[in-house]
Amino acid sequence: MTTNLTPLFAPEGVVVIGASRQSGKLGAAMARSLAAFPGARALVNARRPDPDEGVYASVAEAAEHVGGRLDLAVLCVPAAGCADALAEAAAAGCRAALICAGGFGEAGPEGEEYAEAVRRVADETGIRLLGPNTSGFFAPHLGLTASFVPAAGQLPAGDVAVVAASGGVNHALAFDLVTAGNGISLGVGVGAGLDVTVADALEHLAGDGRTTAVALHLETVPDGPRLVAAVRLVAAVKPVVALVVGRSDVGDFARSHTGALATSWRTTRAALRQAGAVVVDDEREMVDALTALSRIQLRPHPDPGLAIVTAQAGPGLLLADRAGTDGIRTPELSEATQRTLGGLLSPLTYQRNPVDTGRPGETFARVLDTTAADPEVDLLSVYALTEPDSVDLASAAQDAGLGADSPAVVVVGGLPEDVAEQRARLHKAGIPVLTGPASAANAVRALVTHARQRALPADGASPPPTATVPPGPLDEDAAKTFLADLGIRTPHRVACDTPADAHHALRLLGGPVAVKVLDAAILHKTEVGGVHLGVRTPDELDAALDAIGRDRRCLVEAMAPAGVDLVLGVRRDPVFGPVVLAGLGGTAAEALADVAIRLAPLPVAEAASMPDDLAARALLDGWRGGPVLDRAEFGRVVSALAAALAASPGTAEIEINPLRLTADGLIALDAVIVRTADRT
């Protein structure tokens, strides 16, 4: 099967199989949509051929009469007839096909048989197949609208591509992007993805010179590593903005905290972010991000500085407030910059950042240029209204040299017709225009995120594992012995077979101690009353042993000093393979779900950055005199754990919960190792 998708997305000729004259039929809608295509076109209707009208009885007959090669077959026949129609198209020389119809895998066993028949034809002939269950695709610069949505034919050509799991979302995003002043290079709805997947479409776009940014919409991921590789390929040369459906999916992948927290939605978003995509929360944010990233990009920077210039104070405050919420740096402008601004603006205006110009005047362009040139400023956000007898914002922005070399996002307020005129001029100059402060804030966040991602160090080598997980079921004591082999600190402890052993351990360790049931089959000891803390005396120990069961093995362990509890886990995700999760530990882990996720294996430097993703990261930086996390130590612990899982194919998961941050560093207070066999 060829990997070249040019016959699909840029065919020399197109044939519609199942063309119809009845306006309500799919075949009629497709014939109308494709009527504007300037290449070779043909219609096939085996029941009602009319060669004089360009309707033929077969694809082979159509191929004989048209003046060019028919690369793409658009199948407008029921699911039951698709396999035969696909085989006919392939035999006549078609190299790609589109199936829009439903009634396949989603329709039950009979539909799955139809899907399997289509797969078999594609495999045997090498024809590439988009669909089924999609409304199609469009390439405006080619005049190609292989979609049954008529308005798609009116989308203007541009440089933003859309790759969506859903044909409906493909069209919805494309229309929203155009409304925001963008054009479309390619819009693809993958549908069921029996052959051509999201990853295939992305790989095609990596080499597409017309496309400067890509919108990616995902619902499910059939092949995680392939998707990550494709996103990484595209993100290396152009921005990818991704939206993942499934926030409310909290399915329990496993019996442990790590599995419950690393849901498919979280893991997919983390994987895309690690591959270089800018991940957004909704379609509005996606459109705003693409409006900016398709025109300007910041230089790679770990913490870009934002300056705000506003002709009205209130909107400027909205921009500044959102920047603070998003963790974007808004540095105070240098004294030299403020002196220059002081000569351009009224002394009643605020000039340190944000810069409030008051009603903009003839110095507005110089204000923009001066602010953008400040050494701490990497991006400018501008707000102004279209006021009569005031400054012409588009001219001022261009006079200030804003654009690719001096990145800025602009909000123009006013009547729709006035805004549209200003936006068209600014977009032509390569300056993104947004619809309001919230949209501008979305664009700023995307630009800063993209700059930060590109500033990350290149992937370094993961350290080789210092130990592999031993065979057989492992209780907490054995699990902690393994962690110690990896260089992860654990409390002093004694594994006890009898009550007498436990009393000896108490005398050896001294109080207070923790007393825990020791059984590899029990993953959550607190839920079965198997953990007793702060045990100091023989009587307290006997009470703990009675609660646990005096005939059961137990672990007597020195109590750790106070600190901040984290959860750290590595597991084999069913879609993406080995993943790492870190977040708040203890019982708060599942309730708050404040977690960072990465794909494994993981270089130390990237592992060390995971705590920065947490909303509660301030707790790790000496909050109210508390302990400070050594990021380098954390990175080594995480990377070693991830490498050990990768080197231990019989292990499904390793979890430390809690991993306590103390004044003396990190210490693993509990550890669980789950064998792969335990998950089957």
Q: Tell me, what's the pLDDT at 397?
A: 95
Residue 351 tokens, joined: 């000039």
SS3 of 578, please?
strand
Alpha helices (runs of H) in 34-133, residue ranges in sequence order: 59-65, 79-91, 109-125
Does the pLDDT value for residue 260 go beyond 70?
no
High-pLDDT (> 70) share of the chain, %? 95
d(CA 425, CA 390): 17
**Would you state the pLDDT for residue 461?**
61
The total number of residues written for the chain in this structure: 680
Phi, then psi, of 130 in degrees rounded to 5: -105, 125
**Is 338 strand, coil or helix?**
helix
Task: Extract the tokens encoding 648.
Answer: 């231990």
Give the whole-angstrom CA distance, residue 40 versus residue 419: 41
Instruction: State yes or no: pLDDT of 1 exceeds 60.
Output: no
Paired tokens of 53:
């009208």
User: Residue 76 corresponds to which amino acid?
Assistant: C
Q: What would the mean pLDDT of 556-579 be, rounded to a whole number?
A: 94
Render pLDDT for 317-327 as a digit per residue (tens, 0 to 9): 999 999 999 99
Q: For residue 351, give Cα distances in angstroms to 267, 355, 563.
A: 43, 4, 43
Tell me which DSSP letter residue 18 carries.
T
> Which pLDDT belongs to residue 586?
63
Instruction: Give residue 584's identity as a one-letter amino acid code.
Output: L
Question: First and final CA of the chain: distance in angstroms?
Answer: 35
Q: Distance between CA atoms of 382 and 401, rounded to whole angstroms?
A: 14
Task: Find the range with the poorest average confidence among 226-240, 587-601, 654-668.
Answer: 587-601
CA dist., res. 602 & res. 645, Å (int): 11
d(CA 236, CA 239): 8
pLDDT average, residue stretch 583-610:
83
Question: Order of strands across the sheet with 493-496?
Answer: 493-496, 554-558, 513-517, 531-535
- What gap in Å lies between CA 278 and CA 215, rounded to an integer? 10
Assign 254 a pLDDT band (cuts: 50, 70, 90). very low
Contacts of range 108-115, beta carbons closer than 8 Å, 24 or more positions apart = 111/79, 114/79, 114/80, 114/82, 114/83, 115/192, 115/194
Alpha helices in 343-436 (DSSP H): 364-372, 393-399, 416-428
What letter would DSSP give residue 35?
A: G
Question: Residues of 494-533 as b/e, b for ≥16 C-beta within 10 angstroms?
Answer: bbbeeeeebbebbeebeeebbbbbbbbebbebeeeebbbe
**What's residue 26's pLDDT?**
86
For residue 381, list its beta bridge partners.
308, 409
Tell which residue, 96, 90, 77, 93, has the closest CA to residue 11: 96
Predicted model pTM:
0.92
DSSP-based three-state secondary structure for 458: coil
Distances (CA, A) of 624 to 325, 560, 627, 664: 22, 20, 9, 17
Could you tell me the two tokens for 256? 């442990």
Residue-wise pLDDT for 627-675, tens only, equals 999 999 999 999 999 999 988 989 999 999 899 999 999 999 999 999 8
According to DSSP, residue 336 is labeled: H
Checking if the pLDDT of 505 tops 70, the result is yes
Give the tens place of pLDDT for each residue, 276-327. 999 999 999 999 999 999 999 999 999 999 999 999 999 999 999 999 999 9
* 232 token code pair: 């990484």
The residue with greater pLDDT, 22 or 464, is 22
Q: Which two tokens stand for residue 49?
A: 């051929």
User: What average pLDDT is seen over the chain?
Assistant: 92
pLDDT digits (tens, 9 = 90+) for 408-467: 999 999 999 999 999 999 999 999 999 999 999 999 999 999 999 999 876 666 666 567
How far from 322 is each of 295, 308, 317, 319, 325, CA to CA, in Å?
Answer: 22, 12, 8, 5, 5
pLDDT band at residue 257, thresholds of 50, 70 and 90?
Answer: very low
pLDDT at site 529: 92
Looking at per-residue pLDDT, the higher value among 199 and 104 belongs to 199
Whole-angstrom distance, CA of residue 653 vs CA of residue 262: 12
Note whether 654 and 664 are within 8 A (CB). no
pLDDT of residue 252: 37
Rounded Cα–Cα distance for residues 138 and 144 (Å): 6
Single-letter residue type at 269: R
pLDDT band at 96 (very low <50, low <70, confident <90, very high): very high
